Chain A
Amino acid sequence: MGVGTQRLDFAEFYRRSRDECLRTVLVSVGDQDAAQDLVAEAFARAWASWRTISTHPAPAAWVVRTALNANISWWRRRRREVAVPDPATVADMPTIDGVPCGLIDSQIMTAVLRLPARQRQVIALRLVMDLDTGRTAEVLGIAPGTVGAHLARATATLRGELMPAQQKETSP
């Protein structure tokens, strides 16, 4: 594979999957700045190993797994600080664990962010990224049955918190 082709392929992959990866990691970590930083680092690592990653059966899942596993190095810590938003631009916006509510549905995200971390990760991978149970288990390094258990608990909790309100809204 030539360098030109490699770059084109990666650019297309980045364009297609960056938002999905960011949203998945955001739901997992609950902090938009951190999610942006982690996903950027993961995509950079994907670029650095693109010849290998491009043949991965689910490269976007690889990016998410890498983002979630990223080590905090000195460089990353500095990059983390780099992502601090200008306080003046967000001072008037309510936030959920640092997530500006103007970007997301606050009621749903509030409910999701109340879930335990592992349940959030499962919700992110299964519902946001549409991964199947097997791939989700692989990304998180847990058994498929555990994925199912976390998903069942998480969806039950979310249904309890969200569906009654939505059903009320749609009832005559």
Chain B
Amino acid sequence: MNDDQLTTVHDDQLAAAVKGSLTGVHMNTPLQAIVSRGRMVRARRRIPGLAAALAVLAAAAVAVGVLLPASHQASMRLAAWTVARQDDGTIKVTIRQLRDPAGLQHTLRADGVPASVTFFRTENPACRNIPKPSLRLTEKVIHVREYGRSEVVMLVHPRALPGGAGVGIAVGYARLGGKKGLAFSAGLVQASPRCTGG
């Protein structure tokens, strides 16, 4: 056996050893969590179109907002956002226009979901992550279920919220692949007067 062959044998052994050392490592993120995040990524890519549409409709939106304020009633069309409680207790949040985050935050709180909602900013600096966050728990509490070209729908499961926790929702501009777009963020935060309100 020459040196090259010996090296090859050793490299094969080395490869097997390195590979074998990792056999206990497994990806434990559920497919649904990947898909849920993928939907957010895809929605985020489509948002520049939404932002342009919103700009065009901005003047009309003010008048529409007066006539059709943001509310609990999903049947109210063209509201900036709606919050609707489903039969199973899930809270469905539909965001169409980035207006009145304080109103959305107040409405969610009235529905039993302490929330911090910020538009056009990345996050409320007064908010803190919950002490022992977990990705799985976050995905149980809030995720994007569906989206269209002109709206984002988030489902919040209040019963999955740990005690003292709230939901952080932030929608803001971001630089995405060299283009300006909007980034949607959601996570669990510690409920507090400064973060989620009284």
Contacts and interface: CB of A to CB of B under 8 A. Distances in A.
B19 A166 contact: no
Interface string A26-44: 1100001000110111011
B38 A26 contact: no
Interface in B1-51: 10-11, 13-15, 17-22, 24-29, 31, 33-35, 37-42, 45
Nearest to A86: B132
B138 interface: yes
Interface string B97-131: 00000000000000000000000001100000100
Chain A interface size range? 35 or more
Given A27-B18, A47-B35, A75 B26 contact: no
Contacts of B183: 73-75
Contacts of B69: none
Contacts of A18: 27, 29
Contacts of A26: 22, 25
Interface string B39-74: 111100100000000000000000000000000000
Contact of B18 (A11, A19, A73, A108): A108
B101 to A, nearest CB: 16
A91 interface: no
Given A14-B34, A73-B174, A112-B18, A19 B25 contact: yes
Q: Interface centre among B17, B28, B45, B184, by most A CB within 10 Å?
A: B17
Which of A82, A123, A126 has most chain B Cβ within 10 Å? A82
A59 to B, nearest CB: 14
A32 B25 contact: yes
A86 B133 CA distance: 9
Contact of A81 (B17, B24, B28, B133): B133
B187 interface: yes
Interface of B: 10-11, 13-15, 17-22, 24-29, 31, 33-35, 37-42, 45, 122-123, 129, 132-135, 138, 170, 174, 183-185, 187
Given A36-B27, A39-B29, A166-B13, 19 more contacts: A26-B22, A32-B25, A36-B28, A39-B27, A40-B34, A40-B37, A41-B37, A47-B34, A48-B42, A79-B135, A82-B138, A83-B135, A102-B24, A103-B25, A104-B21, A112-B18, A128-B18, A155-B14, A158-B18
9 contacts: A14-B31, A23-B22, A26-B22, A43-B29, A44-B37, A44-B41, A47-B34, A81-B133, A127-B19
